[in-house]
Amino acid sequence: AGAAGIKWAKLRDAQSAVADHVPQTGLAVTLGLGDPENIHPERKMEVGERLALWAKKIAYGKDVVCQGPVFDSVKYSGGEAMVSFRPLTGGLKSADQKEVGGFTVAGADKQFKPAQGRLEKDQVVLKSAEVPNPAFVRYAWCNRPADANLTDESNLPARPFRTDTD
């Protein structure tokens, strides 16, 4: 996707950076809650419920799960990328019981190609026939990541991420 195809991904990336670096800030991932052609989710009730979880935690100090998996680290070996997440509520799973989707990998050339993912313990292991030696990973990195389905027992979606930089 060209720059026009990743504007929303860059916006989500900036929001993630704020959530990671500004104290008392949360980020409710809203992927899957609306029309993929519109950045504003249609299912406002569920957006509000996800935001309320953050309010309970930050404003009221409640011990609640308020986010799904967040990228932690990646290791590359044998033509695969092993991606780890934090914090986890139970194990990783696919939200729709299908193969884990929404991942792309690239070699040193940064030409991203779709990756097949499998769940192994608390990691997603990625491989692509088009990328024999992955060096970078992206998840839900496009305007409309319709196939991004990673979650954990919280049933809250994983936060989009990338390991490359511009």
Give the C-alpha separation, 60 to 166, whole Å. Answer: 38
Q: Report pLDDT for 39.
A: 80
Give the C-alpha separation, 45 to 38, whole Å. Answer: 17
Give the C-alpha separation, 9 to 139, whole Å. Answer: 10
22-45 residue pLDDT tens: 999 999 999 888 877 778 888 999
CA geometry: angle at 15 spanning 156 and 128, to 5°? Answer: 65
As given in the structure block, the two tokens for residue 30 are: 């809203």
The residue behind tokens 């499998």 is: 118
Which of 109, 160, 165, 166 has its CA nearest to residue 135?
109
64-86 residue pLDDT tens: 999 999 999 999 999 999 999 99
Does the predicted TM-score (pTM) go above 0.75? yes
